[in-house]
């Protein structure tokens, strides 16, 4: 008997529900085909949760997430909160609180240049060709979670960046281990010439390195790293960063892939895990069925990896790869065959469900049919 796996599905805001609907199709393709016994439970988070429950992370959502084997999240954020900085309950708080609640201290963001998409990056083809690196971002500490405040005058504010040895070690270890399985290079991104916390990062990571003698460890100041990520991205294998630096470097790195709509991520701690696209809620496209669902779909591949179901994860990646190769994609990638978000989800569903039978591109093009 296969064990029941519970997944909490949190579509969130903006394009979140549209792209998550496609990710769910992919899970269903595998579930339908092989009776994987996956159970999905939906819950609200972010702006939609403030609208429906007055709280960006309602208790019901917390309970569902805590009781699940994995969380699949869409996107968070609504422009109606962007211009009033005095609002107390912000959608993003829901996400930060959820990361903390589930103790998701490690965030993994793979960055890859797809051969068929090299022209979509504003960077030169020869610079990004074959780029393949992964960012390990600390996710529950640092300046995001330190003491913060504004004084009564409203003219003075502060955010505190705190890290402990233990917090650094628990993200550094999986980063070293990832490097062992890859090209054995680990780069710590910090600002050790200025920040005390960065000096602690260097010391802790340096002290760990004898346990991984095969891994070549180097260090880069974050300002220099920001430059090298676009000047010479091939030099990177595994990047290890604190919370804020990892946030910034990962958006910058998305330029290599050609679209933020392609980047998946996974987050984990000791007992919970979450999978979400790197992109935001893209409110300009919300409700129009034109967002790119690939980041959300590839996040489900990372989910299957995490469940140790490598073959299923590869089925998903192969189906996505086929669509990229044949240029059957959403508008952000100016494809030969333009699909909507839901059509691309249907095509990927069919490719997985029917074991990669031939794609009848003409049929897709003329009839916009997904029967292939």
Among 223, 310, 334, 336, the active-site one is: 223
Any idea of the CA torsion for 87, 91, 92, 95, to the nearest 10 degrees?
Answer: 140
**Nearest approach, Cβ of residue 90 and ligand IPM (Å):** 9
Residue ranges in 76-95 that form contacts with ligand IPM under rule CB under 6 A: 76-77, 92, 95
Distances in whole angstroms, Cα of residue 253 to Cα of each of 198, 236, 292, 324: 21, 11, 18, 19
> Which entry of ligand IPM, Mn ion, none binds 58, CB below 5 to 8 A by partner kind?
none
Distance, C-alpha 294 to centroid of its chain: 11
What residues form DSSP beta bridges with 238? 134, 186
Q: Is 247 in the site for Mn ion (CB under 5 A)?
A: yes
Q: What is the CA angle 213-216-220, rounded to 5?
A: 135
**Nearest approach, Cβ of residue 272 and ligand IPM (Å):** 16
User: Where do the H-state alpha helices sit in 35-164?
Assistant: 47-53, 59-66, 91-101, 125-128
> Which entry of Mn ion, ligand IPM, none binds 261, CB below 5 to 8 A by partner kind?
none
Among 144, 212, 349, 353, the active-site one is: 144
Looking at residue 332, the DSSP 8-state letter turns out to be G
Q: Is 315 in the site for Mn ion (CB under 5 A)?
A: no
Among 33, 221, 234, 251, the active-site one is: 251
Complex with Mn ion: residue 247 or 332, whichever CB lies closer: 247
Q: Is 289 in the site for Mn ion (CB under 5 A)?
A: no
**Nearest approach, Cβ of residue 369 and ligand IPM (Å):** 36
| Residue 203: closest CA among 247, 145, 163, 243 | 163
| Residue 57: closest CA among 68, 43, 73 | 43
Q: Is 289 in the site for ligand IPM (CB under 6 A)?
A: no
181 is catalytic: no
> Which entry of ligand IPM, Mn ion, none binds 92, CB below 5 to 8 A by partner kind?
ligand IPM
Residue ranges in 37-76 that form contacts with ligand IPM under rule CB under 6 A: 76
Distances in whole angstroms, Cα of residue 33 to Cα of each of 18, 121, 197: 23, 36, 49
247 is catalytic: yes
Residue showing tokens 């979670």: 145
> Which entry of ligand IPM, Mn ion, none binds 161, CB below 5 to 8 A by partner kind?
none
251 is catalytic: yes
Give the interface with ligand IPM as residue ranges (CB under 6 A).
76-77, 92, 95-96, 247
Give the interface with Mn ion as residue ranges (CB under 5 A).
247
């Amino acid at each position: 008997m296969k064990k029941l796996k519970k997944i909490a599905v949190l579509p969130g805001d903006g394009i979140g529900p549209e792209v998550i609907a496609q990710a769910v199709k992919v899970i269903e393709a595998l579930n339908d085909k092989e009776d994987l016994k996956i159970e999905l439970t939906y819950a609200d988070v972010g702006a939609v949760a403030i609208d429906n429950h007055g709280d960006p992370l309602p208790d019901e959502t917390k309970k569902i997430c805590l009781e699940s084997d994995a969380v699949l999240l869409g996107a968070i954020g609504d422009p109606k909160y962007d211009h009033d900085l005095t609002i107390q309950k912000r959608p993003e708080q829901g996400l930060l609180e959820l990361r903390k609640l589930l103790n998701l201290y490690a965030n993994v963001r793979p960055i890859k240049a797809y051969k068929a998409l090299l022209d979509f990056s504003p960077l030169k083809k020869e610079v990004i060709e074959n780029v393949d690196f992964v960012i390990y971002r600390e996710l529950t500490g640092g300046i995001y979670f330190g003491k913060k405040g504004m004084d009564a005058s409203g003219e003075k504010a502060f955010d505190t960046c705190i890290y402990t040895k233990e917090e650094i070690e628990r993200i550094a270890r999986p980063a070293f281990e990832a490097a062992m399985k890859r090209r054995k290079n680990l780069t710590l991104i910090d600002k050790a010439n200025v920040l005390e916390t960065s000096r602690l990062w260097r010391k802790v990571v340096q002290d760990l390195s004898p346990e991984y003698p095969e891994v070549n460890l180097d260090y880069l100041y974050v300002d220099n790293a920001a430059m090298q990520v676009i000047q010479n991205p091939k030099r990177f294998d595994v990047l290890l960063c604190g919370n804020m630096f990892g946030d910034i470097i990962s958006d910058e790195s998305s330029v290599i892939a050609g679209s933020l709509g392609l980047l998946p991520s996974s987050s984990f701690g000791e007992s919970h895990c979450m999978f979400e696209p790197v992109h935001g809620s893209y409110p300009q496209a919300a409700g129009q069925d034109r967002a790119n669902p690939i980041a959300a779909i590839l996040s489900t591949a990372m989910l299957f990896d995490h469940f140790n179901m490598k073959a299923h994860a590869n089925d998903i990646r192969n189906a996505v790869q086929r669509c990229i190769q044949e240029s059957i994609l959403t508008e952000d990638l100016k494809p030969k065959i333009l699909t909507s978000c839901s059509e691309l989800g249907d095509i990927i569903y069919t490719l997985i469900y029917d074991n990669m039978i031939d794609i009848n591109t003409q049929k897709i093009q003329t009839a916009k049919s997904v029967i292939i």
